[in-house]
Amino acid sequence: MASVTLKNVYKTYISKKEEVKAVRDLNLEVRDGEFMCLLGPSGCGKTSSMRMIVGLEDVTSGEIYIGDRLVNDLSPQDRNVAMSFETYALYTHLSVRENILFPLRAKGMPEIECEKRLKRVVDMLEIEDLLDRGPSQLSGGQQQRISLARALIREPEVFLLDEPLSHLDVTLRTSTRAQIKHLHDELKTTFIYVTHDQLEAISLADRIAVMNFAVLHQIGTREELLDYPVNRFVADFIGEPAINFVECTLIQDNGHPVLKSNHGSLEYSIPDKWRTRILNRGGKHFIVGIRPHDPHTDDIGDTTKLTGVVDVFEFLGEENHVTFKIDGDTLTVVVSPYQFYKVGDTVDFFVPDNRVHIFDAETEECISTTYKLEDGE
């Protein structure tokens, strides 16, 4: 087991004489034994980051440490980091058994040790009956497990998984996800898991690192990212259903600062504790963010009333989703499985004022809630 630390890491590719900045100033500390997810849309630099950690790609600048060893100049074999690839990358001319043993054979490991390790991963991943097959005789899910086995048999200090579930169908994805979680619990090795799927990240990770356009935006637990997103991108990327945004303008109502919707009739009176921070911005344009789980049908006090007309009602079993319009703004709210609405109904919801997120419309930075500031203001 080992921690992984990236300090000011950059990756620039030269492609057809053009520079592609794939990773910019990445600073990341993955704790010993932690399950970290690197989450972000396609092309944001996740795979490049993983390939630099494992040693398949040089860093353009910056430092990578495994434990306290600087590994920039170490070959992949000397880093004790294993990576399981999105495409599985199995050797078609070798049996499953030889595919799994490949990294040990390459090191010239004695047969007896090979067999011992093989038994361990085979038991862990329940793949005994696949050993004599060829990769072409395996389903996608089975290939995925063999690819995991081949990485795990090295008994690495750090285990990197790059979108391991992206080629599996939904049912298999859920069961393989559970198996990966279980593997981590059992091995207690440091895992770095790459995905573009926030639900995967939320269900697996101890902490999530959110990237976009080569830049790391925020690292935090699921709760920290949901409740204290640093900016609009993070707020939007994490959470299901997605957060609602309402474009607003700052006005004064009898001396109270109020954010008034540009396209509808929503009016949000800014709580005292956030006033100074918002007024100090000097700007007039803000975005109000409301998570679909936050509004309720009861007014519990210190709330903002949301009155609208139901546009869509989705009956989903465990929870229902109501989408309603407040003039030109559309909001989705999650209600209990026992609450039903008809299209065209007028509805009232109440969102607690301190659950509302406020973003600067220009910089998209979140200025209402920041967990580091929350107590000290």
Is residue 164 within the footprint of ligand ADP (CB under 6 A)? Answer: no
Cα(377)–Cα(277) distance, integer angstroms: 9
Query: Amino acid identity of 111?
Result: E
Is residue 371 within the footprint of ligand ADP (CB under 6 A)? Answer: no
Is residue 75 within the footprint of ligand ADP (CB under 6 A)? Answer: no
Closest approach of ligand ADP to the CB of residue 304, in Å: 37
Closest approach of ligand ADP to the CB of residue 211, in Å: 7
**Cα–Cα distance list, 106 to 103, 110, 186, 360, 372 (Å):** 5, 11, 26, 55, 49
Residue of 2, 37, 39, 44 that binds ligand ADP (CB under 6 A) = 44
Is residue 13 within the footprint of ligand ADP (CB under 6 A)? Answer: yes
Contact segment (CB under 5 A) with Mg ion among 41-49, 147-155, 307-315, 349-357 equals 41-49
**Cα–Cα distance list, 230 to 272, 291, 361 (Å):** 20, 15, 13
Q: Two tokens at 177?
A: 């996800």
Task: Output the CA torsion sign for 197, 201, 202, 207.
Answer: negative
Contact segment (CB under 6 A) with ligand ADP among 39-47, 114-122, 170-178, 318-326 equals 39-47
Closest approach of ligand ADP to the CB of residue 19, in Å: 10
Q: Which is nearer to ligand ADP, 45 or 264 (CB)?
A: 45
* Strand order through the sheet with 18-30: 18-30, 4-15, 61-66, 69-70
**Are the C-beta atoms of 40 and 210 separated by less than 8 Å?**
yes
- Which does residue 117 bind out of Mg ion, ligand ADP, none, counting CB within 5 to 8 angstroms by kind? none
| Cα R_g (the chain), whole angstroms | 25
Classify 156 as helix, strand or coil.
coil
Contact segment (CB under 6 A) with ligand ADP among 45-53, 100-108, 254-262, 362-370 equals 45-53
- Which does residue 252 bind out of ligand ADP, Mg ion, none, counting CB within 5 to 8 angstroms by kind? none
Cα(334)–Cα(251) distance, integer angstroms: 30
Is residue 45 within the footprint of ligand ADP (CB under 6 A)? Answer: yes
Closest approach of Mg ion to the CB of residue 47, in Å: 3
Closest approach of ligand ADP to the CB of residue 347, in Å: 40
Closest CA to 287 of 373, 374, 366: 366
Is residue 43 within the footprint of ligand ADP (CB under 6 A)? Answer: yes
Is residue 195 within the footprint of Mg ion (CB under 5 A)? Answer: no
Residue of 5, 11, 28, 47 that binds Mg ion (CB under 5 A) = 47
Q: Which is nearer to Mg ion, 23 or 367 (CB)?
A: 23
DSSP per position, 206-250: SEEEEEETTEEEEEE-HHHHHHS-SBHHHHHHSSSSPPEEEEEEE
Closest approach of ligand ADP to the CB of residue 91, in Å: 22
Residue of 5, 34, 48, 369 that binds ligand ADP (CB under 6 A) = 48
Interaction residues for ligand ADP, span 212-231 (CB under 6 A):
none
Is residue 59 within the footprint of ligand ADP (CB under 6 A)? Answer: no
For residue 164, cis peptide bond before it (omega within 30 degrees of 0): no
Is residue 190 within the footprint of ligand ADP (CB under 6 A)? Answer: no
How far, rounded to the nearest angstrom, does the alpha carbon of residue 49 sit from its chain's CA centroid? 15
Cα(281)–Cα(197) distance, integer angstroms: 34
Helix axes 140-152, 96-107, angle to 10 degrees: 20
Residue of 42, 92, 254, 280 that binds ligand ADP (CB under 6 A) = 42
Query: Amino acid identity of 140?
Result: G
- Which does residue 48 bind out of ligand ADP, Mg ion, none, counting CB within 5 to 8 angstroms by kind? ligand ADP
Residues that bind Mg ion (CB under 5 A): 47
Residues that bind ligand ADP (CB under 6 A): 13, 15, 20, 22, 40, 42-48
